[in-house]
Chains A and B, each alone.
Chain A
Amino acid sequence: MKIAVLVKQVPDSDEVKMDPEKGTMIREGAGNIVNPLDLNALEAALSMRRKFGGSVDVLSMGPPQADIALRETLALGADSAYLVSDKFFAGADSWATSLVLAETLKRLGGFDMILAGEKATDGETGQVGPEVAAMLKIPFATYVSELVVSNGYATVKRTVEEGYEIQRIKLPCLLTVLNDINEPEMPTLSGKKKARRAEIKKYGSQELGISKEEAGLTGSPTRVVKIDRPRISRQTELYCGKELDRGIDRVVEVLRELAVL
């Protein structure tokens, strides 16, 4: 099986800043990690490679520093890593991001399955997976918490509001996964060593044949026009020790005010 995994490097700390003029995130300076759900996607890919053979390619669109995240996926066992990076790609919304990833996947070609995390912890839209699939015109599923592949089909269990939906999807397909699909393994020492020396292949707008107008902020249908910092104005009432009875009275009062009781 030829599998691709889409990963995103996300800020690790809570110290993310916003560019007040462009309304986009400033990623420099914050510690970065591989988006946690993307590691579940990678683990799902590696487990399929163990079963069926084949290869696992990892792709990330991001700034040059996303190289670090890609090396982590190589340390975990990915075969090749591709950094899709260009100054014209900056400020992309989910549509413009999806276009670049879809074009890269087309260029690499021949994937039986594309995996990604259900959402990233920074943007939280969960939109890139389905958008990439639609651009590639392949079927897709989201919220996948179980995956079995046989005879050219993926059978997935989707975790939805009322329970689980079991779907059978024709390959090639794109799946976005939740964290209960598996437990990602830790990188091995030899994996880390290999990853340090490995070559990360780079793609930019020229290699992909994407014009400046289609990509990044210019190619994004959405525009952030305003950023507000809402003040959390909760006046915390603290109760401890002997005051706890009074605290519990207050909880009951609040429940009554809210018409819960």
Chain B
Amino acid sequence: MRRDESKSSGVLVCGEVRTGRIHPVTMELTGKARELADKKHAGVTCLLFCKELADDPEMLFGYGADRVLLIRHDKLEHFNQDIAAKLLCFAIKKYIPEIVLAPATTSGRTFLPAVAAMVHTGLTADCTGLDIDPESGLLLQTRPAIGGNVMATIKTPEYIPQMATVRPRTFRIPCISERSGKVEIPEIPDCIFESDIEVLNMEYTGGDGTNIQDKEVVISGGKGLKKPENFALIRELAELLGGGVGASRPTVESKWISYPHQVGLSGKVVSPKFYLAAGISGAVQHLAGMQTANKIVAVNKDHDAPIFRVSDIALCGDLADILPMLINRIRKELNQ
């Protein structure tokens, strides 16, 4: 929509509900939305759609929401991009928000672009920073470009809503404050739930650590492991630290491990608190997928491995010696 065609206000957060629970990224985005809305003296609305909700939607008031739009329907048990896009379009047309924030999860990254096309506006993917331009009042959307080598700041000057997706754990969940608001249950026309897409089944494999973008710790292995069985060391360390298992592209291409573990430009971009790369030399395509981690440790036998240049701690030697040493040491720490 052209900015001049309608009067818009407020921030709309697209919440995410997975298996009946409000995903933490919803709280992260609500907190950020509050900050942005305060700079514009505007309100924050959270949109939740699901089949069932085990959490109390009123909890979102404490994180900064003024209003929660709760949509429940049997067709919302699993993610359906067609219905999700139509619901968000409905909410945008009804409430005309100036800004829409959504998680850059596989769901958000799927239906948000469709919504951008449907309402004719801009969308910035995977923002790592959001602010309000003090002069123009526009949303400043910052995202890494070209493999994280540069940061681009993007504006959507003439269209509304200004839309951005944000990866989980980019922003902190704010402290809970004493706030109140109201939960609204909007009436949705039935036709929104008619779809050319039918979800047949959902196979949950989440327990195997493939959900690496949500992890605070990621331990990755590369070809330096020498054989696929040695991923056991990576798994053991990841398990000890409650982290996920990552992998370099060559190991995935050699079928040592499945694609959902792949870290890098052609796999997943991760930004955990702690990232350890073992036996990964550090091709640009991998570095681009992990260099924004808070702390990086690399284990490699090659002094000149490029991975060392982006690491806080470089352990140079044979990973077959170093990883067991590290595992034993951490086990000792945990036992104390």
Q: Which of A65-73, A119-127, A199-207 contacts B (4 or more CB under 8 A)?
A: A119-127
Q: Is B291 interfacial (CB-CB < 8 Å)? A: yes
* Chain B binding surface, main DSSP class: mixed
A108 at the interface (CB under 8 A from B): no
A130-B81, A248-B315 known; A161+B105 contact, CB < 8 A: yes
Complex-state Cα separation, A222 to B141, whole angstroms: 10
CB distance from A136 to the nearest CB of B (A): 9
**Complex formed: what's the CA distance from A245 to B321 in Å?**
11
Most A CB contacts (10 A, CB to CB) among B146, B203, B297, B334 go to: B146
Q: Mark A151-181, 1 if CB is under 8 A from B, else 0.
A: 0000100111111111111100100001110
Given known contacts A166-B200, A221-B122, A238-B314, what 9 new A-B pairs fall within 8 Å (CB)? Answer: A25-B146, A127-B113, A134-B118, A140-B114, A155-B200, A170-B197, A222-B154, A254-B312, A261-B333
Q: Which residue of the partner chain, among B213, B241, B242, contacts A161 with CB atoms under 8 Å?
A: B213
Which of B109, B312, B317 is close to A244, meaning CB atoms less than 8 Å apart?
B317
Contact with B206, one of A163, A220, A225, A238 (Cβ below 8 angstroms): A163
B122 and A225: CB pair below 8 A?
Answer: no
Counting contact residues on chain A (CB < 8 A from B), the size range is 35 or more
Q: Report whether B295 and A258 are in contact in the complex, using a CB–CB cutoff of 8 Å.
A: yes
- Assess whether B225 is interfacial by the CB under 8 Å rule: no
Whether A161 contacts B211 in the complex (CB less than 8 A), given A93-B122, A225-B153, comes out as: yes
Does A190 sit within 8 A of B, measured CB to CB? no
Tell me if A229 and B200 are in contact (CB < 8 A).
Answer: no
B183 touches A (CB below 8 Å)? no
Pair A226/B126 contact, Cβ less than 8 Å: no
B200→A168 contact, CB < 8 A: yes
* B117 at interface, CB cutoff 8 A: yes
Interface size class of B (residues with CB under 8 A): 35 or more
How far apart are A169's CB and chain B's nearest CB, in angstroms?
5
**By the criterion CB–CB under 8 Å, are A244 and B315 in contact?**
yes
Cα separation A238 to B196 with both chains bound (whole Å)? 56
Binding site secondary structure of chain A? mixed
**Stretch of A50-58, A79-87, A141-149 lying at the B interface:** A141-149
B150 within 8 A of A: yes
Residue contact A95 to B123, C-beta cutoff 8 Å: yes
A186 CB–B CB distance under 8 Å: no
B274 engages A260 (CB within 8 Å) = yes
Q: Contacts A143-B110, A258-B294 given: A237-B314 contact, CB under 8 Å? A: yes
Q: Does B311 contact A (CB under 8 A)?
A: yes
**Which residues of chain B are within 8 angstroms of A98 by Cβ–Cβ distance?**
117
Q: Is the CB of A121 within 8 A of B315?
A: no
B121 within 8 Å of A (CB atoms): yes
Least CB distance from A128 to B in Å reads 8
User: What are 23 A-B contacts with C-beta separation under 8 Å?
Assistant: A23-B152, A36-B266, A95-B120, A125-B125, A126-B125, A127-B116, A130-B114, A134-B118, A139-B197, A161-B213, A161-B214, A162-B202, A162-B205, A162-B211, A163-B202, A164-B202, A165-B78, A166-B199, A179-B266, A225-B154, A236-B309, A247-B315, A254-B295
Residue B285 CB within 8 A of the other chain:
yes
Of A134, A142, A179, the residue contacting B109 (CB under 8 A) is A142
Query: Chain A residues near B113 (CB, 8 Å)?
Result: 94, 125-131, 134
Report Cα–Cα, A137/B169, bound state, in Å.
33
Docked pose: A237 CA to B291 CA in angstroms? 16
* Contact present for A14 and B147 (CB under 8 Å): yes
**In the complex, residue of chain B having the shortest beta-carbon distance to the beta carbon of A135:** B117
Q: For B150, list chain A residues within 8 Å (CB).
A: 18, 227-230
A255 to B333, CA, bound (A): 11
Cβ-defined contact, B311 with A236, below 8 A: yes
Interface residues of B in 205-262 (CB under 8 A from A): 205-206, 210-211, 213-214, 216-217, 241-242, 258-260
With an 8 A cutoff between CB atoms, is B166 at the interface?
no
Which of B113, B321, B330 has the most CB atoms of chain A within a 10 A radius of its CB?
B113
Q: Name the segment of B35-43, B91-99, B155-163 touching the other chain.
A: B155-163
A129 to B242, CA, bound (A): 35
A252 adjacent to chain B (CB < 8 Å): yes
Interface: B310 (CB within 8 A): yes
Whether A130 contacts B199 by the Cβ 8 Å rule is no
Q: Is the CB of B198 within 8 A of A167?
A: yes
